[in-house]
Chain A
Amino acid sequence: MIALLALFAVWTGWRVFRVDSMVRASFALMLSFVSVGAIGVLLSAPYIGVATVFMMAVEMMVMAIFMVMFMMNPAGLNPMVMVHQHRLSIAAGVLAFVGLSAAILLSPLPSDPVPEGSDVVAQLGHELLGPSMLVFETAGVTLLATMVGAVILSSRQGWFGAADHGSRPPDLTAGGDPAGRQPGDGGGHGHHHHGGH
């Protein structure tokens, strides 16, 4: 069962980069997360597993909404291949898999499973609000900072206009033209991909 779920998680993970629509890709990713959560439940980590499923279901819905808002071709009506440095990426992925697999297969893995009938969720709760409270609280404050940062980053410009208003990039050579994109020339080449390639 666990092997089947693991296989399904990997297959759906692979589908993420093979389907033609980004919404489908996000649902494939969600299926991958759900099967990882189910593996967690089967491996006697019910809290982690169920929390993963809930969190990822919501997260992928948000992702799907983002796709529809910003991205080309959310419905997958025409083929979608948008990749760069393809060979390098394949090589890096395969290398990572082969290296990790070799490490897994060649090293002696300790075997000390969770004792039968131990109350893992209660243990987790006592750990979170006991010895590891500092870690837990730090994660909470980090999430709060994340919320503030996300709001600031995604909000419209502040009271005093754009942050780079009137700024000028430094010259590449003394007295020469400013480097890079000039402020105020807009997006320039933003939407060149909307033909669908």
Chain B
Amino acid sequence: MTLTIVLLAAAALIGIGLYGALSQQSFVMLMMGLELMLNGALLAVVGFWSQSLGGMPEGQLMAIIVMAVMAVEMAIGFALIVAVYRKRQADMTESIGTLKQ
């Protein structure tokens, strides 16, 4: 029962994050959507480890890897935002439409 609740919450977080990542125009809000999806992934990993792996330490390792992915995404994402802003004065996805061509 606990596992079901936790996994449903994780699914909701992933759904909201997907909505945000697809719909937001500002780069920073877009990254918040990505972070929210990773948040859901972390919640699912912790829930599965706690309720159905019998305490296998590899489950915790998986959660640590998810956190490392979050840190990498955050650092590189913000560095890219800064680079694009320096180059194009752009902070919205529509401002770099030339990438489409």
Contact = CB atoms under 8 A, between A and B. Distances in A.
Interface of A: 2-3, 6-7, 9-10, 13-14, 16-17, 22, 25-26, 29, 32-33, 36, 39-40, 43-45, 47-49, 51-52, 55, 59, 62-63, 66-67, 70-72, 82-86, 88-90, 92-97, 100-101, 104-105, 109-115, 118, 120, 123-124, 126-128, 132, 135-136, 139, 142-143, 146-147, 149-154, 156, 162, 179-181, 186-191, 193
Most buried by A among B42, B43, B83, B91: B43
Interface in B35-77: 35-36, 39, 42-43, 46-47, 49-55, 57-58, 60-61, 63-65, 67-68, 70-72, 74-76
A82 B13 contact: no
Contacts of B86: 156
A96 B51 contact: no
B60 A45 contact: yes
Interface of B is mostly: helix
Interface residues of B, number: 76
B39 to A, nearest CB: 6
B22 A190 contact: no
Contacts, number: 265
Given A10-B13, A16-B36, A43-B51, A127 B57 contact: yes
A86 B25 CA distance: 10
Contacts of A151: 79
Contact of A90 (B19, B47, B75): B19
Given A111-B52, A154-B83, A179-B101, A97 B15 contact: yes
12 contacts: A2-B5, A86-B23, A96-B14, A112-B54, A114-B54, A153-B80, A154-B83, A180-B98, A186-B89, A187-B88, A187-B89, A191-B89
Given A82-B25, A82-B26, A113 B54 contact: yes
Given A43-B46, A105-B4, A96 B52 contact: no
B26 to A, nearest CB: 6
Contacts of B63: 40, 45, 48
Contacts of A147: 75
